[in-house]
């Protein structure tokens, strides 16, 4: 698929009230997570994902798909996806730091996220049509790849689509695990990325589909 740059027209009030935006921007602790406070940028990225890539990949019955956002963080994917009519579940690692900081975001925007211990995800087999991972796989250590991919594979339906961002993370997945996902569940991998150089008008790069 050609990497055509698409401009995004944006209004945060489609997803958050002005008061919610102010509350998020007022969070002061856990500085290393503060990129999540950039409300405009994060909402624009996820609006672009749902409107231009997700709907562009699936031509029929988009809203019927069950979506898992692996490494959901502040859950901007849930805020935007549910507002646009999609069935989105967020999952994050079960650490005190992650639960503490992100629970503040979740309380403000009115969403909940599931957590896992790095061993088994709290979902049944074959329950998600789509897996989305934005910048979360980049945090895996070498020893974490096999368990994480195995669990994502377990909870994916046959023929599931996995969206991996940023694009270079797709190439870091051990090839034997990519092959396993394609053989066992016929997984289709889509690499996607974003460009934040122009803060006035963030842009979106459609996915390159790896068949």
pLDDT in tens, 158-170: 999 998 888 788 8
Bridge partners for 93 per DSSP: 116
pLDDT for residue 150: 93
pLDDT at residue 191 greater than cutoff 70: yes
C-alpha 160/C-alpha 167 separation (Å) is: 18
Half-sphere exposure of 196 (CA within 13 A, CB side): 11
C-alpha 182/C-alpha 189 separation (Å) is: 9
pLDDT for residue 88: 95
**pTM of this structure:** 0.83
Label residue 95 exposed, middle or buried (CB < 10 Å: 0-12, 13-18, 19+). Answer: exposed
Matching residue, tokens 């994916």: 156
pLDDT for residue 123: 97
C-alpha 121/C-alpha 127 separation (Å) is: 12
Matching residue, tokens 């650490």: 95
pLDDT for residue 11: 78
Task: Calculate mean pLDDT across residues 47-68.
Answer: 73
């Amino acid at each position: 698929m050609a990497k055509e740059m698409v401009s995004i027209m944006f209004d945060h009030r489609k997803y958050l009230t002005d008061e919610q935006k102010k509350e998020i921007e007022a969070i002061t602790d856990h500085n290393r997570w503060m990129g999540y406070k950039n409300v405009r940028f994060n909402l624009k990225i996820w609006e672009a994902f749902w409107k231009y890539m997700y709907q562009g990949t699936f031509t029929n019955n988009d809203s019927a798909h069950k979506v898992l956002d692996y490494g959901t963080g502040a859950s901007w994917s849930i805020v935007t996806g549910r507002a646009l009519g999609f069935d989105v579940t967020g999952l994050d690692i079960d650490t005190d730091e992650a639960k503490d900081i992100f629970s503040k975001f979740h309380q403000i925007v009115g969403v909940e996220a599931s957590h896992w211990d790095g061993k088994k995800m709290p979902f049944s087999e074959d329950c998600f049509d789509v897996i989305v991972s934005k910048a979360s796989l980049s945090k895996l250590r070498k020893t974490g790849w096999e368990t994480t991919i195995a669990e994502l594979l377990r909870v994916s339906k046959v023929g599931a689509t996995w969206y991996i961002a940023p694009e270079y993370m797709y190439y870091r997945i051990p090839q034997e695990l990519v092959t396993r996902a394609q053989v066992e569940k016929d997984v289709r991998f889509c690499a996607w990325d974003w460009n934040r150089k122009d803060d006035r008008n963030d842009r979106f790069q459609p996915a390159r589909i790896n068949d």
